[in-house]
Amino acid sequence: MATLGMHRDFLLEFAALEKPVQKRVHEAFEKFASATHSGLHLEKLTHQRDPRLRTIRINNFWRGVVLKSERGDSFLLLKVLPHDKANAWASKHRASVNEATQGIEIRNDVALERATASLRAVAADEPSRLFTVASYPDKILRSLGVDTEILPIIRLIPDERHLEALHKVLPEQQYDVLLGLATGMEPEEIDRELVQAYAQTAAETPDTSDDDGLAGAMARSRGRVTLVSGPDELMEILRRPFDAWRIFLHPSQHRVAYRGSYAGPARVSGGPGTGKTVVALHRAYHLARRLPADAPNGSILLTTYTKDLAAELERCLELLVTDRTVRAKVRVVHVDALANQTLRTANGGKPLKLLVDQREITARWTRIIDRLGLDFTDVFLDQEWRQVVLAQAIRTPEAYLKAVRAGRGTRLAPLKRARLWRAVAEFEKQLTENGEFTFLQVCSEAARVLDERAGESGGEGTGAGGRPFRHVVVDEAQDLHPAQWRFLRALVPPGPDDLFLAGDTHQRIYGNKVSLRSIGVQVVGRSYRLRINYRTTREILAWAASLLTGEEPDDMDGGDETLSGYRSTLRGARPETLGCDGRTEEIGALVTRAGEWISAGVEPEDIGVAVRYAQFGRELAGALERDGIAAYVLGSGAPGPGPGVRVGTMHRMKGLEFRCVAVAGVSDGTVPMPAAITPAAVDAQRHQEDLESELSLLFVACTRAREALHVSWHGEPSRFLLPAVGPRRGHPVMNA
């Protein structure tokens, strides 16, 4: 039977072609996908390393490169290149099969020979070695798929920089393994996360006895090769070439997203840009496809913590799931909106009166303190209420007296607790009398309603009377409050595949430290980490990670998160930092930089400007507009998204990404934002955690950049920048 595969490079190169050439590619390859491949004219080259590599004419200027099995009817679309380059590529490369995974690998023999010669010259003067026999015996490396041709070459590599230089030369999967080892992963981890993940696909391998095993090798190359079922699927993939994430999941992503079933809650974590959202989307898709035919629409919840992020999840789900019946099984809505709806429905449909203004909330605490003559501050009371009372759903003074106040830095003797409870009782009484709720109370109450209803219906089933969903998939899980967690827990009956969580504690920006165990979500043994960054260049990643030096966030499960093995294969310019004397000068420099990016061909919508204060963002947007550069302020309420450079607070940047990012106003006194930091005198632990959240916020903003990052300040730089730029005086400083 004919089998057609498509390599990821083919899709990426196709995406960069002009429309008329794309049309020709469609026409040329449509024939491939029809059952008989008659009418195709595949040309052989005269001198080539691998006789199975053929080229096909697209038009006078462009050619495709195809790997064809010697026996049978299997094809792999590899490249679309200008005529001469296509021929040169096809003559130098060779396809082979990885010894550990049996997946297909493409290697450039000519470049490998050249690299070996130059590495020998380097090694003669440089005694250090990245992969010594003592640390990585041949047997270990061979078990990870490093073959006998590659072994002698990598023994010569002195350092990571030289390994990176071999990126395009080594067979991809072997490079993946070596980079993992070089960035701190243990061989056992590599075996589990890469080799075994590839091996899992073997079970799905088609019968390949009649085509030299090409179809099987393609099937075992997930992440780099996708098998195309027919002309419709081929055209569907080519219609959206930019969204490679829909088709080419890395095996480490695939094994998490498409695992048949988890016995209980499961979690995927990983640094920025590692594809956690992508995995969450694929998991929702997998669960939707697996539902029994009679499962009602909306049986699966895909959720996150803000409306904007939920809208983005919805947009991506539309791209991923083209079958309308399957798509209808997944409901996308953010946590607060769903809680609101749940509680409103339980209250007879009447809209809830929400108290959202933080200034008003603080003012009420102040009045209560005055009235009761208490010696607490308004900030302390508000935090105690949110982080202890609401977090643990405490409803009585007795329960509060016994409560463990984890995460609070000030001890409270029983007498003090009793006094504090009077303030809480008064505050909650006022809310009840006014018929008001805060967001967190809505979640807490909605969870209670669902639990009660499930209790009354005498079971943990889904549907009317029971829990409303069969599966819940949560993105950006690190930012949810325990009350929101309780609500999520209450939405789905405990059991296999109940909750699937994606998140990264390095990006926690709302200070909600949660122990999953304490809210009945046990992910032990079902927790996975992604380590390859698909978004950001190594230069930006290394720079942003250096800001976190010394910070070791928890993993929401009692352990520590580490960035070990976290890596990117993309390369680019180092981030640029600029210190200015004054605000006006900084704004001027930013406008100039944005103008330069646009002149270099970057679309304004692909530029993001992040600031700590909304007001500074509005000023910057105004300055851009005055200079003739359209700007759109995120979250401004303006009908959108309008055209132009995206300007927004660092909080608004969460979950977004841009080709170029400027983070502006990273000045001492602005970042961290003083008003967001609990004074150490009020609560030392909270003070520290607030500082961590502010640092995470800066980290989040910087890691939105795909290609270029520009960080600026006026006056003195933020203390968070000191590890990266050093304590400098005497501006301007330009560090390219």
Ligand X SMILES: Nc1ncnc2c1ncn2[C@@H]1O[C@H](COP(=O)(O)OP(=O)(O)OP(=O)(O)O)[C@@H](O)[C@H]1O
Q: How far is the CB of 249 from ligand X (least distance, A)?
A: 5
Comparison of 126 and 657: residue with beta carbon closer to ligand X: 657
Beta strands, E only, 481-636 = 499-503, 527-530, 532-533, 567-568, 576-580, 607-611, 631-633
CA 688 to chain centre: 26
- Binding ligand X by CB under 6 A: which of 40, 88, 165, 244? 244
- The Cα 120–Cα 654 span in angstroms is 46
Q: How far is the CB of 282 from ligand X (least distance, A)?
A: 9
- Binding ligand X by CB under 6 A: which of 276, 508, 513, 651? 276
Comparison of 162 and 276: residue with beta carbon closer to ligand X: 276
**Binding window for ligand X (CB under 6 A); candidates: 107-115, 266-274, 487-495, 607-615:** 266-274
Residues 504-523 that bind ligand X (CB under 6 A): 504, 507
- The Cα 694–Cα 201 span in angstroms is 42
Q: How many residues bind ligand X (CB under 6 A)?
A: 21
Taking phi first (over 0 means left), then psi (-120 to 50 degrees means alpha), and beta for anything else, what does residue 638 get?
Answer: beta
Structure tokens at 271: 């640094």
Do the annotations mark residue 273 as ligand-binding? yes
**CB-count exposure of residue 48 (10 Å: 0-12, 13-18, 19+):** middle
- Binding ligand X by CB under 6 A: which of 274, 505, 537, 678? 274
Do the annotations mark residue 674 as ligand-binding? no
Structure tokens at 328: 């209808």
Residue 248 contacts ligand X per CB under 6 A: yes
- Binding ligand X by CB under 6 A: which of 277, 303, 438, 670? 277
- Binding ligand X by CB under 6 A: which of 164, 554, 657, 716? 657
- The Cα 604–Cα 218 span in angstroms is 39
Do the annotations mark residue 277 as ligand-binding? yes
**Per-residue x/- track, 172-211, ligand X (CB under 6 A):** ----------------------------------------
323 three-class SS: coil
**Per-residue x/- track, 445-484, ligand X (CB under 6 A):** ----------------------------------------
- The Cα 443–Cα 334 span in angstroms is 12
Comparison of 282 and 731: residue with beta carbon closer to ligand X: 282
Q: How far is the CB of 252 from ligand X (least distance, A)?
A: 9
Q: How far is the CB of 275 from ligand X (least distance, A)?
A: 3
User: Contacts by 12-16 with C-beta closer than 8 Å and gap 24+?
Assistant: 12/241, 12/244, 13/79, 13/80, 13/81, 14/80, 14/238, 14/241, 15/241, 15/242
Start-end of H helices in 373-527: 378-384, 397-402, 414-434, 439-456, 482-491
Residue with tokens 């309008």: 642
- The Cα 435–Cα 398 span in angstroms is 25
**Binding window for ligand X (CB under 6 A); candidates: 123-131, 268-276, 409-417, 671-679:** 268-276
Start-end of H helices in 510-582: 538-547
- The Cα 73–Cα 75 span in angstroms is 7
How many residues in total does the chain contain?
A: 736
Q: How far is the CB of 533 from ligand X (least distance, A)?
A: 8
Do the annotations mark residue 64 as ligand-binding? no
Q: How far is the CB of 7 from ligand X (least distance, A)?
A: 13
Q: How far is the CB of 276 from ligand X (least distance, A)?
A: 4
- Binding ligand X by CB under 6 A: which of 72, 270, 608, 644? 270
Comparison of 234 and 268: residue with beta carbon closer to ligand X: 268
Residues 109-168 that bind ligand X (CB under 6 A): none
Q: How far is the CB of 504 from ligand X (least distance, A)?
A: 5
Residues 393-422 that bind ligand X (CB under 6 A): none
Q: How far is the CB of 271 from ligand X (least distance, A)?
A: 7
**Among 314, 668, 634, residue whose Cα is nearest residue 475:** 314
**Per-residue x/- track, 488-507, ligand X (CB under 6 A):** ----------------x--x
Residue 245 contacts ligand X per CB under 6 A: yes
Residues 680-719 that bind ligand X (CB under 6 A): 703
Residue 253 contacts ligand X per CB under 6 A: yes
- Provide the residue type at 688 as one letter: Q
Residue 308 contacts ligand X per CB under 6 A: no
- Binding ligand X by CB under 6 A: which of 24, 162, 250, 267? 250
460 three-class SS: coil
331 three-class SS: strand
Beta strands, E only, 35-126 = 53-57, 62-68, 74-82, 93-97, 104-108
Q: How far is the CB of 535 from ligand X (least distance, A)?
A: 4
Do the annotations mark residue 642 as ligand-binding? no
50 three-class SS: coil
Comparison of 269 and 342: residue with beta carbon closer to ligand X: 269
**Binding window for ligand X (CB under 6 A); candidates: 55-63, 162-170, 274-282, 458-466:** 274-282
Comparison of 145 and 655: residue with beta carbon closer to ligand X: 655
- The Cα 520–Cα 134 span in angstroms is 45
**Binding window for ligand X (CB under 6 A); candidates: 35-43, 229-237, 270-278, 567-575:** 270-278
Q: Does residue 158 contact residue 122 with C-beta atoms inside 8 Å?
A: yes
- Binding ligand X by CB under 6 A: which of 24, 222, 535, 686? 535
**Binding window for ligand X (CB under 6 A); candidates: 65-73, 249-257, 545-553, 554-562:** 249-257
- The Cα 54–Cα 45 span in angstroms is 7
Cis peptide bond N-terminal to 672, omega within 30: yes
DSSP letter at 326 equals: H
Three-point CA angle 73, 79, 83, nearest 5°: 110
CA distances from 206 to 210, 215, 216 (A): 11, 7, 6
Do the annotations mark residue 274 as ligand-binding? yes
Comparison of 311 and 401: residue with beta carbon closer to ligand X: 311
**Binding window for ligand X (CB under 6 A); candidates: 15-23, 43-51, 241-249, 419-427:** 241-249
- In the annotated binding site, the residues are 270-277
List residues near ligand X by CB under 6 A: 244-245, 248-250, 253, 270, 272-278, 504, 507, 534-535, 655, 657, 703
- In the annotated binding site for ATP, the residues are 270-277
